[in-house]
Chains A and B, each alone.
Chain A
Amino acid sequence: MVHVYNCHPFSSQQIVQVEQEPGLVCCGGGALFVVATGGCKVEAYSVEKEGCPLICRFATMGTVKSIQHSKIGDYLVTIEEKNSATYLRIYTNWRYQAEEKARVGVRLLGHLLRGASVRGGVQMEIIEIPLSERPVAVACCSVTGDLLVGCENTLVLFTLRRQNQQSLNQSQQILQSTWPNTQQSSSQSQGQTSSSNQNVSILDFERSVILHLPKIKPKRVALCGGYVAVQTELEVLVLKLDESSEPKTAEESSDTNKDHLEDQADFLLLPRHQELLGDRAKDCDIAVTIEKTGLEDRGQYTLSYILFRRFTPDFFQGCSVEETQLHSLQLYPLFTSTQSASLEEPACVFCFFSLPNAGYLYSLKGGVELLSVYQYPEKVLEAVLTDYLLHVITKNALQCFTVRCAAVTARIEDPYIDTTMKACPPCSLEVCALRMQLFIGLRSVCVYGRHVILLSTADTDTPEETERTTQRRGLELKEHTMLTGIFLAVGIDPATTPALESLLSRPFLSRKWTMSSPKETSTAGHGWNLYVVDTVSPLTLYQEMVEYSQRYAESNPQAQSLRHLLSEAHLLLRASLLQTSGQQQHSEGDPAVSLQTDTDTAVQTDSQELEEALRQNCAQLGDCFSRSGQKDCHLALPYYRMSGLPVTEVMARNRPVPSSPHSYGPGFLFYLKHYLFEETEQCLSQEAADEVIDIFSQSEPSQLVSVCASPPMVNVSPARTMQILQHLEDTAGVSVPLTITMATMMLLLDDLPRYTQMMERHAEMLLVYGFIEESRLLLHGGGGGQHAHIRPTALTRQLAKSQPGLLVAAMVALHENNKVQLEQADQIFKELGCENCLQVDFWEAMLMASSQEAVIQELLFRVASVYIDRLANSEPPPTPSRRRSLKSAEDLINSCIHYGALYPWLTVLSPAQTTSSQHQEALHKLQSLLCGPSLSVGSVVPLLERLSEETLWGFSLHLLCSTRRGQYDSSIEKLLDRCPQAIIAYANHQLQDKNMVLWWQKLLPELCNRTRAASDNSILLAALKETLVVVAMETSPTEFLELIPDDGTASYFLPHLLTCSQKHLLA
């Protein structure tokens, strides 16, 4: 279905004062170029100035058959005929031909010897491009200024070369100095005038590549950023030419192609309508070979097939061959607003072509895709694609269709489109037709910016018609019946479409249409006219669309048409935002724009206005989707977001009228939920928060718990909410999160008894599950990742006071369920002011519960440092304020694998009575960690430096460390120095297995030496004795003999020797 909207795309019309009947017309660079029929003269008019004044006129060298303007380089290219030979010519510096009697320079392609500099002032120059074949069609690349020439069976690509004036002047000087002497003296005076225009660059072209397409006859060609399109009568082929240094030759690709052709030759079955996209386009039967001609060796060109379409006349639909001819081939680039157009490839390239009854628009980049098919109401003669409209002419009307290019570009520009953050109407959105403007005898159309240039000739009309034409010159308006006929022809019955009906009932010449036809008399009397019809600015058209949409909004806000119209309006704004940002960048390249000094500021205010309009439009689209049914209702969220409206404003817009049964739409609820669940820092006022509660209790009561837990809702009135929650419980039954929410309300009401009562309704374990279900009962913020600010709720603060165990358990559970990260938990405990107590309890509990290796290592280190800290600080006066830990050392040793059982020798070293119980706890926990399997001892050694070895408990920790690090020798020595009574307990525990040898290698000699020095030391003697028992058990008699000191008393060692031999004999 074609939507037709009664919007006025055109604002005004001028008639260009042309003396002779125009034959060909083209435009560019702010100018309109008119070639008189059969004439050899081009007249350039300014389309941007009131009345379209003549800029200049200049003669061509032959009869112009085709003319094009290139924005880049500001040149014209013509195909001309003279004496039945065909020529291809480039006209540069045409703007300097204001004085018609000025000489025009002529040179061949590549012969850049001369130049404007020679004569002084800038001179118009014609570059003739010799071709071996007859040129049929030309196209200029709007990105690079390169030129594509379609000949009978080839396409020739010419790259634009700019020679800057400076370098040319130099070569000119060399030339001058070698001039023959005859008139040397005279040359000076003329050289003087040359200073005027130094920064003019001189254009030239280089023939860079030839594509041979022996099988087709090009009718039209197009070129854009490496894309080459060629159109024959019934086929369109789009190729991509890439310059690459890789030596992948053209032959390769063409060879494979030929093979394929041979395959296909067997069955000549041609589908009636063929569409081959992307790589598949290779399968078309059109072989292309590359011939490189560039003089410079700049690597190879590679060719890829992008798109192929073939049409066949459909005789059964009453079409004749000529009616099925393609026309209006166009490649169209779009740059994103972040791109600098002069440096980069366009982000998007579109291909448009048209049959008389339908137009086709493809997006070529990032996967070829058919964007839109335009079904015309009448046979279309010509079509021109622009940024935001497609203009088509039929014999009697100019009509506009909307385009989807901006939707494609928006998606390339912004990866967040089509998320919950941003939205844009889909590329597949049905196109629509805007109000048409009637003319008589339209021949051709071309577009420059907002100016649509139309050529009409009435010479096919009957004499009476011509007469009537003259009478009604200017705007040719036909009867409504004819319009109705057109609509009926495309299957639209105006009677069923209110918009159409009003379109037909309104006078065509509305207040929006201003005419500035200078001299009526001057235009009368001949059967042709050249019009410049201005389109309204996108913003104006947007506003009209919005105005128009209001009628839908009032009558039926759910209507598809309202949404469609607002989407159309949205894309208009996007297109013109792209355009304005493009203008800023393009302004240097475009001679017409660069003449205006205040363009930039104008563009800036423009884009501010546009952005404001876009926000408005997003709000309206948000409204549209917020009320709509299930499908697409989620789009309310991104559109409201893009609108920048505060949530209260959105709520107000969605507030149902008191009397109506209308309730909140799913889109609105979706938006509101997202708003509430996305941890915004912004708090709602009590009034707004209460309204939110009402909205959900009315529409989605099951969401109430999470709504209440949402951070923006902190100001909600607790008593009121309590009632609603109570009602919910009565109807939906008890649930733990609901109970906790109600408890929170009680807390906010300062009703501690009822709070406690609520909290006691469930076992702690169940409460923990409740917190896992709704973590925001405890934690607010932190949704935006690790660094977002996270804070405790009122409930959390209360729990810290009254149920610390529950809080710790809940935090551990949240951590293990990835609802909170360690750093965030730290932040919470910091805010609760219990960094050194509850937090440590949390860490200890985490060590018991967690299985995440990285977290465990971190926590082990943290608790170890806490213990060391406590031991270091608490020594003289133990802090009385400190609450007991939730877990004792005993608990931890029994239930946590990271805390090991204390080594037996430690009890000998640190008797229980020494210090306070808290000190004792810290010591035992640290010792236990050091005895456990997980703590990396090396990491805590530096921290242990803080504790002196003076005290025995301090010594025990250091000894534990050095032992864990395998420093047995020194440990044995130190222990013998400090506390020899512990040595046997130590040796029994530590010197086992591979360390057994230390009994006799270290301990025995050490004890022997020490007893020798202090023979009355009973502790040492007892230890020696114990050692000998062990050594006798573990060594052979010979070994044992070796170990006995030379000066030892034999009788002392003999019993042990005996045990040793007996044991040996037994073995």
Chain B
Amino acid sequence: MTSKSALLKVILLGDGGVGKSSLMNRYVTNKFDSHLFHTIGVEFLNKELEVDGHHVTLQIWDTAGQERFRSLRTPFYRGSDCCLLTFSVDDGQSFHNLSNWKKEFTYYADVKDPDNFPFVVLGNKLDVPERQVSGEDARQWCRENGGHPYFETSAKDATNVASAFEEAVRRILALDDRADHLIHTNTVDLQRKTPPDPSCC
């Protein structure tokens, strides 16, 4: 039942125009629009799915990548379960900015254990012939920055989009197992009358 499914917040970050909104649209509605507006602020969509026998509700947060909208997006990093760092393979600058995005996220999301926080890196627009970022460069950056999984995607062709999101879920669930294990050994929070709800927190 859905009531037993977890609500997982996944946030898409990356430079303006790298294709965050397109990836979300492709994944949730299976559509692609070659003339998309820049996102202003923050929007989200829910998608229910099953990964390795787990029912989850994925809450995908799409953010505005443009610098001017920083104050609109940063307040909503908090509570994220996974962060999808996105660049466009035809835009070298967007790749170079990945580390800035990661810093911005860790700072505003107030992540307690940044080293173990699940990031997934997406190199989008795989279909574009004029590549500026090689797969090797991207993979190297992922290795050096905490061993993040890397996916080369195309929102236009729907390449790898679903697997990227599913990977995000897997990463979260893997972490949750450990967390669950930890909670049992922890002291009990007396303020809570009912045991913590397994469903969506």
Considering only CB atoms, which chain B residue lies closest to A178 in the complex?
A: B68
* A38 adjacent to B45 (CB under 8 Å): no
B 35-91 contacts with A by CB, 8 A: 35-38, 40-46, 57, 59, 61-62, 66, 69, 71-72, 75-76, 78-79
* A187 adjacent to B37 (CB under 8 Å): yes
Chain B residue contacts of A187, Cβ below 8 A: 35, 37
* A104 adjacent to B43 (CB under 8 Å): yes
Stretch of A25-33, A111-119, A476-484 contacting B (4+ beta carbons < 8 Å): A111-119
A61 at the interface (CB under 8 A from B): yes
A128 at the interface (CB under 8 A from B): yes
A107 at the interface (CB under 8 A from B): yes
A130 at the interface (CB under 8 A from B): yes
With both chains docked as a complex, state the minimum distance between the C-beta of B35 and any C-beta of chain A, in angstroms.
3
* B201 adjacent to A84 (CB under 8 Å): yes
* B46 adjacent to A59 (CB under 8 Å): yes
A 454-501 contacts with B by CB, 8 A: none
A 75-93 contacts with B by CB, 8 A: 81-85
Chain A residue contacts of B75, Cβ below 8 A: 108, 128, 130
A106 at the interface (CB under 8 A from B): yes
Chain B residue contacts of A104, Cβ below 8 A: 43-45
Chain A residue contacts of B59, Cβ below 8 A: 59, 61
In the bound complex, CA of A101 to CA of B9 (Å): 16
Q: CB within 8 A of A63: which of B1, B29, B197?
A: B197
* B17 adjacent to A62 (CB under 8 Å): no
B145 at the interface (CB under 8 A from A): no
Known contacts A59-B57, A114-B72, A83 near B46 by CB under 8 Å:
no
* A118 adjacent to B44 (CB under 8 Å): no
Chain A residue contacts of B79, Cβ below 8 A: 61-62, 82-83, 85
A179 at the interface (CB under 8 A from B): yes
B 182-201 contacts with A by CB, 8 A: 196-197, 199-201
Chain A residue contacts of B126, Cβ below 8 A: none
Q: CB within 8 A of A186: which of B36, B41, B45?
A: B36
A413 at the interface (CB under 8 A from B): no
Chain B residue contacts of A111, Cβ below 8 A: 41, 71-72
B121 at the interface (CB under 8 A from A): no
Known contacts A83-B79, A85-B78, A183-B38, A105 near B43 by CB under 8 Å:
yes
* B197 adjacent to A107 (CB under 8 Å): no
A909 at the interface (CB under 8 A from B): no
With both chains docked as a complex, state the minimum distance between the C-beta of B164 and any C-beta of chain A, in angstroms.
19
Chain B residue contacts of A123, Cβ below 8 A: 43
- The interface size of chain B toward A, counting residues with CB under 8 Å, comes to 38
With both chains docked as a complex, state the minimum distance between the C-beta of A179 and any C-beta of chain B, in angstroms.
7
* A107 adjacent to B72 (CB under 8 Å): yes
Chain A residue contacts of B66, Cβ below 8 A: 180
B3 at the interface (CB under 8 A from A): yes
With both chains docked as a complex, state the minimum distance between the C-beta of A64 and any C-beta of chain B, in angstroms.
10
Chain B residue contacts of A36, Cβ below 8 A: 2-3
* B35 adjacent to A38 (CB under 8 Å): no
A773 at the interface (CB under 8 A from B): no
A190 at the interface (CB under 8 A from B): yes
Q: CB within 8 A of A103: which of B3, B7, B35, B44?
A: B44
A40 at the interface (CB under 8 A from B): yes
* B3 adjacent to A39 (CB under 8 Å): yes
Chain A residue contacts of B46, Cβ below 8 A: 59, 100
In the bound complex, CA of A954 to CA of B135 (Å): 133
Q: CB within 8 A of B199: which of A59, A63, A106, A189?
A: A63
B28 at the interface (CB under 8 A from A): yes
In the bound complex, CA of A103 to CA of B43 (Å): 6
* B41 adjacent to A107 (CB under 8 Å): yes
A182 at the interface (CB under 8 A from B): yes
Q: CB within 8 A of B72: which of A82, A85, A113?
A: A113
* A105 adjacent to B42 (CB under 8 Å): yes
* A113 adjacent to B40 (CB under 8 Å): yes
* A118 adjacent to B2 (CB under 8 Å): no
Q: CB within 8 A of A40: which of B28, B34, B41, B200?
A: B200
A516 at the interface (CB under 8 A from B): no
Chain B residue contacts of A108, Cβ below 8 A: 72, 75
Give the residue among B35, B46, B57, B78 with the most A Cβ atoms within 10 A. Answer: B46
Give the residue among B2, B37, B69, B72 with the most A Cβ atoms within 10 A. Answer: B37
* B41 adjacent to A101 (CB under 8 Å): no
Known contacts A59-B59, A118-B40, A38 near B199 by CB under 8 Å:
yes
With both chains docked as a complex, state the minimum distance between the C-beta of B83 and any C-beta of chain A, in angstroms.
14
* B76 adjacent to A106 (CB under 8 Å): yes
Chain A residue contacts of B1, Cβ below 8 A: 20
With both chains docked as a complex, state the minimum distance between the C-beta of B109 and any C-beta of chain A, in angstroms.
11
Known contacts A20-B2, A128-B75, A190-B37, A81 near B201 by CB under 8 Å:
yes
* A37 adjacent to B3 (CB under 8 Å): yes
Known contacts A81-B201, A106-B76, A189 near B43 by CB under 8 Å:
no
A21 at the interface (CB under 8 A from B): yes
* B45 adjacent to A101 (CB under 8 Å): yes
Chain A residue contacts of B76, Cβ below 8 A: 106, 128
Chain B residue contacts of A113, Cβ below 8 A: 40-41, 69, 72
With both chains docked as a complex, state the minimum distance between the C-beta of B46 and any C-beta of chain A, in angstroms.
4
Known contacts A20-B1, A39-B2, A105 near B200 by CB under 8 Å:
no
Known contacts A59-B46, A190-B37, A183 near B17 by CB under 8 Å:
yes
In the bound complex, CA of A456 to CA of B98 (Å): 52
In the bound complex, CA of A175 to CA of B3 (Å): 42
Q: Mark A178-206, 1 if CB is under 8 A from B, else 0.
A: 01101101110110000000000000000
Chain A residue contacts of B200, Cβ below 8 A: 38-40, 62-63, 82
Considering only CB atoms, which chain A residue lies closest to B197 in the complex?
A: A38
With both chains docked as a complex, state the minimum distance between the C-beta of A42 and any C-beta of chain B, in angstroms.
12
Chain B residue contacts of A20, Cβ below 8 A: 1-3
Chain A residue contacts of B61, Cβ below 8 A: 106
* B37 adjacent to A114 (CB under 8 Å): no
With both chains docked as a complex, state the minimum distance between the C-beta of A953 and any C-beta of chain B, in angstroms.
105
In the bound complex, CA of A85 to CA of B200 (Å): 12
In the bound complex, CA of A105 to CA of B2 (Å): 24
In the bound complex, CA of A118 to CA of B21 (Å): 15
In the bound complex, CA of A182 to CA of B62 (Å): 20
Considering only CB atoms, which chain A residue lies closest to B76 in the complex?
A: A106
Chain B residue contacts of A61, Cβ below 8 A: 9, 44, 59, 79
In the bound complex, CA of A552 to CA of B76 (Å): 67
Chain A residue contacts of B29, Cβ below 8 A: 101
In the bound complex, CA of A100 to CA of B47 (Å): 10
Known contacts A62-B79, A107-B72, A118 near B37 by CB under 8 Å:
yes
With both chains docked as a complex, state the minimum distance between the C-beta of A435 and any C-beta of chain B, in angstroms.
36
Chain B residue contacts of A128, Cβ below 8 A: 75-76
Chain B residue contacts of A40, Cβ below 8 A: 7, 57, 199-200
With both chains docked as a complex, state the minimum distance between the C-beta of A955 and any C-beta of chain B, in angstroms.
104
In the bound complex, CA of A534 to CA of B35 (Å): 51
With both chains docked as a complex, state the minimum distance between the C-beta of A97 and any C-beta of chain B, in angstroms.
11
Known contacts A20-B1, A128-B76, A82 near B43 by CB under 8 Å:
no
* A83 adjacent to B201 (CB under 8 Å): yes
Chain A residue contacts of B17, Cβ below 8 A: 182-183
Considering only CB atoms, which chain B residue lies closest to A84 in the complex?
A: B201
Give the residue among B42, B75, B76 with the most A Cβ atoms within 10 A. Answer: B42
Q: Can you spell out 25 A-B residue pairs with CB atoms less than 8 angstroms apart?
A: A20-B3, A38-B3, A39-B2, A59-B7, A59-B44, A59-B46, A61-B44, A61-B79, A62-B7, A62-B79, A63-B200, A81-B201, A82-B200, A105-B41, A105-B42, A106-B42, A106-B44, A114-B40, A118-B40, A128-B76, A130-B75, A183-B36, A185-B35, A186-B37, A189-B35
Interface residue ranges, B against A (CB under 8 Å): 1-3, 7, 9, 16-17, 28-29, 34-38, 40-46, 57, 59, 61-62, 66, 69, 71-72, 75-76, 78-79, 196-197, 199-201
Kindly list 7 other residue pairs between chains A and B, CB separation below 8 angstroms, not including A39-B2, A59-B57. A103-B43, A108-B72, A111-B41, A113-B40, A114-B40, A186-B37, A187-B35
**A-B pairs, 9 with minimum CB distance:** A186-B35, A59-B46, A114-B40, A103-B43, A106-B42, A114-B41, A38-B199, A38-B197, A40-B7
